[in-house]
Structure 1
Amino acid sequence: MRVVVGGGTGFIGTALTRLLRSRGHQVTHVSRREGEDRISWAELSRSGLPLCDAVVNLAGENVLNPFRRWGDAFCQEIISSRVETTRSLAKAIAAAEQPPRAWVLVTGVGYYRPSPTAEYTEDSPGGDFDFFSRLVSSWEAAALIPGSPTRGVVVRSGVVLGRGGGVISQLLLPFRLGLGGPVGSGLQPFPWIHIQDLCGIVCHALEKESVRGVLNGVSPSSPGTSSGGFARALGAALGRPALLPLPAWAVRAVLGPQRAGMLLEGQRVLPQRTLDTGYQFIFPELPAALRDIVA
């Protein structure tokens, strides 16, 4: 299978590319610069989609970058890096003489309203209550190609855990020093997924012709995981205490109130349709997932 991956040069994209190639698929990235096995977004606009069997979009500015001040300019970058890249790929798919068979977009569980008690499946409503939920709605709407023969799949990902990037890379040093702990109250749900499973779900969606629509990219045990439970599990995997909380006021001071909500609130999300399609999780439980990452 020939796969075009938008924004596939970061933490998740590198892992997905490795998995795709290990399964015998060819990968071309769409990124800011051209190069070996790459085309630029400008080239995509000029020349259209390379001949391929499937397209995946992973592009998106890092929302939780603490070095970027929250403001209109950064918000626009966040929107453009997701919605416009998705729209560009959807437009190229629609214009292709030989359309790809599958089109997979990875978004986020921020679509669902944070709640300490509500549980959400792929059929649950959302997408209309704050900046991030509306962003996901616009992002997913940009992927729609009415009348296209290309099969569409959206994977709404939780917090991605893996080596070399994501939230773990920011937490390892303080936790190794014994300075880790829960964020805020520690009671908020923590929807998570191991990077091998997120990439596995994307490959599953590409390779299984019957898969279409929304899949929740979270671990089956994720609904029972709190922020405090995650901190304790990470401390246990490292053999360190996890007793020092990061106060909510400090999170708000660094990230601003809108972004802070992503860490101080959470959703209990179930991968119901993901499991129904036959995907088998490699790391369904948090302790094993963390041991694999920090080993």
Structure 2
Amino acid sequence: MRVLVGGGSGFVGRELTRLLRDKGHEVTVISRRPGPGRITWVDLESRGLPPCEGAVNLAGENLLNPLRWWNESYKNDLFSSRVDTTKSLARSIAAAPSPPRSWVLVSGVACYKPSLTVEYTEDSEWTPFDLLSNLVSEWEASALLPEDAAKATKQVVIRPGAVLGRDGGAMKQVLLPFWLGLGGTLGSGRQPFPWIHVTDLAGIIVHALENPEDAPSPSPQVLNGVAPALNTNREFTKALGRVLGRPTVIPIPAFLINALLGSERALVLTQGQKVLPKKTQEAGFEYKYLDLVSALAEIVGS
């Protein structure tokens, strides 16, 4: 299978590309820079979709980029880097003389309103309620294919939680303070912490590409890209401390996180959602990492 991956040079994209190639598939990455096995977003707009059986978009500015202040310019980049690239791919798929069998967008669980009690599945209804949920709404809407194109291409939306892996994502920022014994709960620590190991997220994407059994339809198939475990931030903190053999006794108060990140962005750390992968498991995907300890042990090399 030939697969086109937008944002394939990023953290999840590298893992997805590795897994696809290990399984014998051919991967072309869409990137801002040209190179072997790559095309640019400008190439996509000017030349159209290259021949492929699957297309994935992972592109987007890092929400928790520690080097950027939370301001209007950053917010605009968060939207444009996701919505514009997704629109570009969707337009190219719709115009392709031989469209791919599957079109996968990876968005996020920020569409679900934070709650200590409510459990969300892919069937849960939601409406935008803040900046990040509006981002998910615009993002997913930009991926929708016109009705005639949707008859030929299966549409899939995967909503991941915090993606855990040794080469990027949340772990890249928290490992050093935890190694130094400075790790601790964020805010109250009671907030739900939906997570997934990067290998399993890549596996869900490949599963969606390799198994397009469902007939294409105007509405996308939605899969929650989270582990089945329902954990809190406190449980994540204690599990990482145990795996590293380090204390986790220095909590970080919510007001400090708000001050450092901006209150709208800090919500992804100080609040959370209980998200279950009901449809993901019903689709037959088998997880490699079902619990935090096994996932974290692999990441830190224990």
Bin of the TM-score, shorter chain as denominator length: over 0.9
Structure 1 residue 127 displacement after superposition: 4.0
SS of structure 2 residue aligned to 1:246: coil
Using the alignment, how far apart are the partners of 1:156 and 1:111 within structure 2? 9
**2:103 aligned partner:** 103
- TM superposition score normalised by structure 2: 0.96
**2:162 aligned partner:** 159
1:263 aligns with 2:266: no
Query: For residues 63-102 of structure 1, what are the structure 2 equivalents within 5 Å?
Result: 63-102=63-102
Task: Give RMSD over aligned pairs.
Answer: 0.9
**2:222 aligned partner:** 214
**1:181 aligned partner:** 184
Using the alignment, how far apart are the partners of 2:15 and 2:242 within structure 1? 26
CA displacement, residues 121-174 of structure 1 (integer Å, 9 cap, x when unaligned): 001122410010011011011111122211010000000000111111111111
Using the alignment, how far apart are the partners of 1:193 and 1:168 within structure 2? 12
Identity between Structure 1 and Structure 2 (%):
55
- TM superposition score normalised by structure 1: 0.98
**2:217 aligned partner:** none
**1:15 aligned partner:** 15
**1:120 aligned partner:** 120
CA contact (8 A) 1:127 1:136 kept: no
Using the alignment, how far apart are the partners of 1:206 and 1:127 within structure 2? 28
Using the alignment, how far apart are the partners of 1:199 and 1:184 within structure 2? 30
Q: Deviating runs (4+, > 2 A) in structure 1?
A: none
Structure 1 residue 288 displacement after superposition: 0.6
SS of structure 2 residue aligned to 1:160: strand
Using the alignment, how far apart are the partners of 1:278 and 1:127 within structure 2? 28
**1:246 aligned partner:** 252
Using the alignment, how far apart are the partners of 2:180 and 2:35 within structure 1? 40
Using the alignment, how far apart are the partners of 1:39 and 1:280 within structure 2? 32
Structure 1 residue 64 displacement after superposition: 1.1
Alignment: residue pair count: 293
Using the alignment, how far apart are the partners of 2:263 and 2:144 within structure 1? 31
CA displacement, residues 3-51 of structure 1 (integer Å, 9 cap, x when unaligned): 0000110111101100000000000011101110111101100000111
**1:226 aligned partner:** 232
CA contact (8 A) 1:115 1:266 kept: yes
Structure 1 residue 66 displacement after superposition: 2.3
Query: For residues 275-290 of structure 1, what are the structure 2 equivalents within 5 Å?
Result: 275-290=281-296
Structure 1 unmatched ranges of 5 or more: none
**Between 93-102 and 60-69, the greater mean CA deviation after superposition:** 60-69
